[in-house]
Amino acid sequence: MLDERDRKILDLLQTDAGISVTDLADRVALSVSACSRRIQRLEDSGHIAKRIVVLDREKMGVPTTLYALIKTAHHADEWIETFRKAISDIPEIVEAHRLTGNHDYILKIVLPRVEHYDVIYKKIVRRVELFDVSASISMEVLKSGVTIPVGYAE
């Protein structure tokens, strides 16, 4: 069971995983050793899945975001696994979701420029049969982030 200090630790760590344990302990009013034990417990319990570094996309040369909406005529487990493998080693595809509604999948793709989408598209269609693919280019980021709400965790 998580308490408010655990939630505060999680919230602070997901904002800055590089925060020192000393600073974190000060911010949640714990001793360094108690804070360290809590972090270890949160890692052991799986509440902290991993710690990562978020890179600046402009500086990394991939400022463009494109969403590919995919329809397929195939829904068998074997095809889904083939699709998963087809997209797994394409680093420009940073997220992939299976959907309800009019489309079966959505891919979030980061690119150096819009024209590079054709390279990614060809990689995908060479590996797996698709019924329809449409793409939308993100014109402006209104909200972005990797943090999630911590208030629901138990």
Decide which of 1.10.3720.10, 1.10.10.10, 1.20.200.10, 3.20.20.70 is the CATH code for 4-44: 1.10.10.10
Residue 123: pLDDT band with limits 50, 70, 90: very high
HSE (CB half, 13 Å, CA atoms) of 82?
A: 14
Residue 1: pLDDT band with limits 50, 70, 90: confident
CATH architecture of 57-137: 2-Layer Sandwich (3.30)
The DSSP secondary structure of 53-96, one letter per residue, reads -PPPHHHHT--EEEEEEEE-S--SHHHHHHHHHHHHT-TTEEEE
Q: What is the pTM of this model?
A: 0.88
pLDDT in tens, 32-84: 999 999 999 999 999 999 999 999 999 999 999 999 999 999 999 999 999 99
Taking the mean position of all CA atoms in its chain, how far away is CA 127?
23
